Structures are given as C-alpha cells and as structure tokens.
Amino acid sequence: MRPIATLLFMFWLGACAASGNTSSSTTDATAPKSDTVSPGADTAVACQPVAAWSGLPCNPLCGASASPAGQYCGVDKAGKVGHVPVGEQKLGFGCNDISPCAAGGCVEVPGKGRKCQPFCAQDADCEAGQKCALSLSASSVTLTLCGPNATTKVCDIFKQDCADGLACTLNGSKESCLKPGPKKKGEACDGTSFCEKGLVCVSDKCHEVCNPHTSGPDPKCTNVCPDRTGNLDGNDDVAVCSEKSDKPKCTLLTGKECASGEGCYVTSSSDGPRCETAGTAAPGKPCTSDTDCAAGATCVGNACRKLCDPLQQVEKGCSDITIPCTPLGWGAGYCDE
C-alpha cells in the first residue's frame, strides 16, 4: 500500500503546481498592456498629431519616419502635402524648386530668403533661439515651422521695417537700421555718402537689392537677380540686381569688336558678352571674376582658363589637342586643363 500512497501524494503535488501555473498565466494574459510609447525623435515629441493637419495624407512632424525609403512628409512643388523625395538642401540652407529640401519645408525667413526649416507644432519643438513662428500654406492648411526669434531680428532689408527716418541697409555683411543718404540708383557712393532707402552701396555704386534664392521678388529687378548665392561678401541672402551693360557687344571667342586694352567677357547672362577693360591674370592664374583674366580667357573654378572653340576637333585653341574644350556658351568654350 505504501508505494500506492506515495504515487497518489506525488500526483496531488503535481496537480497543485499545475493549478498555480495556470493562475499565473491567466493573470499575465488578461493584464492591460500600455499603449504609450517613450518619447523620441519619431514618436511622442517629433511625430505628435496636430488636429488642424488631421486631414493630410501624412504628418509633416514625422519627417521620414513614416514615409517610403528616400522620401519624407513635406510639401511638393505644387504646394501639396505628401511623401516627397528627399532633396539636397539641409535644414538652414537656401532652397527653391530647383534645390529642394532634405527635410522640413522651404519657407521665406524674414531677411534671409527662402530656407529649409523644420516643421513644428509649438515653440518647444524648435532649437534654442528659435520659435514656431513661420507659416507655409499647403493643401488648404497652414503649416508652422521654426524660425529665428523675432526679438533677435534687427531689420529686414526687403521689407524696410526700421523706425521712421531710418533705412534697413547693409552695415558690413549685417542688416542694420541706419540713416539713409541722398544717393539714387546708379549714383556713386562711399562710406560717407550712403544710398537712399531701399538701395545698397556695392562697388562704389548704389544698387537695388534682391533675393538670390528666389530670383528677386523683393523687389523684382529691372534686369535680373543672380539666381545663385548672394554676390555680397559675407552675406549669402542678399544680392544686387544685375544691370544692363552699355558696353559694346562682342564675339566671346575673338573679341574682335573690342578696343585695345579691352577683352570680351560675360558679366551678365542676360546681356551676353560685352567689351570690358581687360584683366592681367594669364590662364592658370587665380581669379574671382572674368574681368580679372587677360583678354581671351575666362574665370572658371577660381582660375583663369583659355577660351577655345568647342566645335573644332583638332584646332580648338588649347595648348594640346588632348585637352577638352568645355562649352561655355555664345560659341565659345574653355580649355579644361
């Protein structure tokens, strides 16, 4: 009988253990699970829902976290919110339809032109020194983006928002409110003879200002605004309008129409080649503009390059027939050596 009693006792212990395990398992299965996620770059902080944006195809605050590879939630060229290709311009850099953003939206920043700025729902979403104060209309809603704290802005050279009697102009490379001078567009100026309101003194002459990131809508130039980085030292957000030249037109490759001491140069793409006073830098020497180079040369990549004929296979004009003649336009090229 003792072996049978022992077996019954062991069976009873196993049943109790099984009963205990079942109770524990039932408790785990029925316990409510938390539906919260720890705050992070792509969750509670950066990817928070915004009621006013609920009807959009994606949430701009989510960036690339909820988009297909190579895309992010942004605004396309047509002004629609959706998954757009990641562009080449980083946050804080200038942008336009040709150079789209890698993140955020391309928005006008007061006094700075169009920049890639991060989307935001509140000031806390922006980095120190910035506020959620910029706006961009897209898909019939208003998106908000981070921008400079308004209290740190001195003035906007395009809006001319200084106090009465002052003009927003360039003081070095910075925009400052100063008393305007009497000089009009095209008139000579210097450090003591300032231009009238809305103009800047560049190269001893009063010029219209324009926004190089948007081809000059602030204001539209009489001629053109350089569609590139600003042409003012130390400030890449302000440019001066190109002016039509009164110099004779010329054939870029030969310069045959130019007088002695002049060369044929392209100083404005809208004007084409014109006769200008020739520079002295020979091919291969450093330069910052075409007119730094001697007649028959052009400035490419901060070095003077000899002009050549891209239509010729052998007698191109370069020092060696193996050197390529890269087309420059206007029937000419430059020796790419």
Taking alpha carbons only, the member of 240, 224, 109 closest to residue 169 is: 240
Confidence of residue 70 (pLDDT cuts 50, 70, 90): very high
CA 164 to chain centre: 32
Least confident of 16-30, 92-106, 194-208, 272-286: 16-30
Q: How far apart are CA 40 and CA 298, in angstroms?
A: 53
Q: How far apart are CA 298 and CA 34, in angstroms?
A: 68
pLDDT in tens, 220-264: 566 666 544 344 555 667 777 776 677 889 999 999 999 999 999
The listed range with the strongest mean pLDDT (152-161, 181-190, 192-201) is 181-190
Q: How far apart are CA 291 and CA 297, in angstroms?
A: 9
CA 53 to chain centre: 25
Is pLDDT above 90 for 272?
no
pLDDT in tens, 202-213: 767 788 888 766
CA angle at 75 for the pair 73 and 78, rounded to the nearest 5°: 140
Whats the size of the chain, residue-wise?
337
User: Distance between the two ends of the chain, CA-based, in angstroms?
Assistant: 108
Contacts of residue 17, defined as CB under 8 A and 6 or more positions apart, other chains included, come to none
Count how many Cα atoms sit within 13 Å of the Cα of residue 290 in the half-sphere of its side chain.
Answer: 22
The answer to whether the beta carbons of residues 178 and 195 sit under 8 Å apart is: no
Contacts of residue 287, defined as CB under 8 A and 6 or more positions apart, other chains included, come to 279, 281, 293, 299, 302, 303, 304
Residue ranges per structural domain of the chain = 56-151, 154-243, 262-335
Q: How far apart are CA 298 and CA 287, in angstroms?
A: 9
Is pLDDT above 80 for 214?
no
CA 102 to chain centre: 10
Q: How far apart are CA 302 and CA 335, in angstroms?
A: 14
User: Quick one: pLDDT at residue 198?
Assistant: 87
Alpha helices in 141-296 (DSSP H): none
Which stretch of DSSP H or E encloses residue 2? helix 2-30
CA angle at 262 for the pair 226 and 187, rounded to the nearest 5°: 50
The phi and psi torsions of 308 (rounded to 5 degrees) equal -150, 175
Q: Please give the average per-residue pLDDT across 44-51, as a whole number.
A: 72
